[in-house]
Amino acid sequence: MATTVNPDPEAAAAGKEPRGPRSLLARAWDNLAFRSVWPELNGAMGDLGTYIPIVLSLALARHLDLGTTLIFTGAYNAVTGLIYGVPMPVQPMKAIAATALSDPSFGIPKVMAAGILTAAFVLFLGVTRLMQLVYWFVPLPVVRGIQLAQGLNFAMAAVKYIRYEQDLGKGKRAAPAIPSAVIVFVVGVAFAVARHPAAVRELRAGPSRMCVVRISREAWKQGFLKGAVPQIPLSVLNSFVAVCKLMRDLFPEKEASATSVSVTMGAMNLVGCWFGAMPCCHGAGGLAGQYKFGGRSGGCVAALGALKLALGGSMLRVLVEFPVGLLGVLLLFAGVELAVAARDMASKAEAFVMLLCTTVSLVGSSAALGFLCGMVAHGLACSCSGRGRWGSGWAIPSHYSLTG
């Protein structure tokens, strides 16, 4: 039997009694309180498989200010954990990062211009509540197709990290069925310190110095054309639509709308990008990864944010020596958890739409192209079935569970 999800949580919340200051403090405390210590700390490390490789590559290849990025993303972690009460991830904007790493002329001013323009667009969608309309309009099979494609991308990238870039000696001891993210991270830091012992002496507590990035007219133009244009559809699909629907699956008791998520993400980047922090967004893969490793509360990401704020840019030498193969372990399980979400299709037609969307996204290396094909296929399926309704994506089977 299927249960219908309310498409507008904000409207439902409007009928509740207003909360006083004491109840707001109690809610904030509940959002940040650990459900259990070790699983929450374990979950905090579950998203590092995507965060560290991208940020570190940009820091080394394009001179991204790692200290400023860690400070602002640490603050983002704390704010999102406080507001939403779930392990909401903070990840680099992947389309902008890919452009910067593949194009030597796409420097930091253009990266920041792309981030600011993307943030302004999604903030506009959030303030005008158009994002909620997008969230309602996109059917569940298309969202699952995008999630499955990204999950498979994560898994393939993880295998590449482990197989080709692993720098550890081959051992005979069998690995556990599900490795602990905390153990993986601690082992990686230990190897990094062993490779570069002086890195320990370079660690300093506290924030790094920062300055305002100067962005020329040409940087605004190139940032829009090469960075914002490919990033906007990816952000709308994966950072808002997919994240909110996956959050409904994992945390049905929590209230978060595509409108509120777009407002917080847009506002955060409109501040951080001016100071050189890497443009960031939320991601369904990060949420799935942190949930897989035990994250159940906002305190999970707040703890990660506190670590980033405490160490700042002094982590650069340690991260440079971090074995990237170990990050592949984290990335692999995040990809598997995200791909598993695609198993709740209730009919062959929905499964076909999902697989078509996934295939086009992978073959064409474009989530936007997969989205367009999926929407067309879903429209044709609705017409042929004679249902005459678009929103089949709101029906979520009651037996569905990501961990079952």
Answer whether residue 17 shows pLDDT above 50. no
- 328, containing H or E segment: helix 324-340
List Cβ neighbours of 266 (8 Å cut-off, separation of 6 or more). 119, 120, 121, 122, 123, 124, 126
- Treating both helix axes as pointing N-terminal to C-terminal, what angle do 140-164 and 242-250 enclose, rounded to 10 degrees? 90
User: How much is the pLDDT for 327?
Assistant: 64
Burial of residue 169 (number of CB atoms within 10 Å: 0-12, 13-18, 19+) = exposed
Domain count, the chain: 1
253 band by pLDDT with thresholds 50, 70 and 90: confident
229 band by pLDDT with thresholds 50, 70 and 90: confident
Tell whether 172 is covered by a domain.
Answer: no
pLDDT tens digits, 141-184: 887 887 788 778 767 777 776 665 544 333 333 333 344 555 66
16-52 per-residue burial string, b: 16 or more CB within 10 A, e: under 16? eeeeeeeeeeeeeeebbebeeeebbbbbbbbbbbbbb
Q: Which of 285, 282, 319 is nearest to 93 (CA)?
A: 282
Tell whether 316 is covered by a domain.
Answer: yes
Residue pair 65/276 in contact (Cβ under 8 Å)? The answer is yes
Share of the chain above pLDDT 70, in %: 71
For residues 300 and 191, what is the distance between their CA atoms, to the nearest angstrom? 25
Tell whether 254 is covered by a domain.
Answer: yes
Residue 396's φ and ψ, nearest 5 degrees, are -115, 120
The Cα diameter of the chain in Å comes to 69
Tell whether 335 is covered by a domain.
Answer: yes
Amino acid at 109: P
User: How much is the pLDDT for 400?
Assistant: 33
Q: What is the CA radius of gyration of the chain?
A: 21
Q: Determine the average pLDDT of the residues in 275-296.
A: 88
Answer whether residue 403 shows pLDDT above 50. no
Lowest mean pLDDT segment, chosen from 287-291, 340-344, 355-359, 370-374: 340-344
Answer whether residue 2 shows pLDDT above 60. no
Tell whether 9 is covered by a domain.
Answer: no
Q: Report how far apart the first and last C-alpha atoms of the chain are (Å, whole number).
A: 17
For residues 116 and 63, what is the distance between their CA atoms, to the nearest angstrom? 19
Q: Which of 206, 209, 282 is nearest to 241 (CA)?
A: 282
Answer whether residue 110 shows pLDDT above 60. yes
276 band by pLDDT with thresholds 50, 70 and 90: very high
Tell whether 209 is covered by a domain.
Answer: yes
For residues 154 and 49, what is the distance between their CA atoms, to the nearest angstrom? 9
Answer whether residue 294 shows pLDDT above 70. yes
Q: How does the average pLDDT of the chain come out, rounded?
A: 77
User: How much is the pLDDT for 230?
Assistant: 75
Answer whether residue 354 shows pLDDT above 60. yes
Q: For residue 22, what are the CA distances in angstroms to 10, 19, 25, 296, 384?
A: 22, 8, 5, 24, 54
User: How much is the pLDDT for 399?
Assistant: 36
209 band by pLDDT with thresholds 50, 70 and 90: confident
Lowest mean pLDDT segment, chosen from 90-99, 209-218, 280-289, 363-372: 363-372
Answer whether residue 207 shows pLDDT above 70. no
Tell whether 8 is covered by a domain.
Answer: no
- pTM, two decimals, is 0.70
Answer whether residue 305 shows pLDDT above 50. yes
* 316: containing domain: 31-167+178-397
Tell whether 17 is covered by a domain.
Answer: no
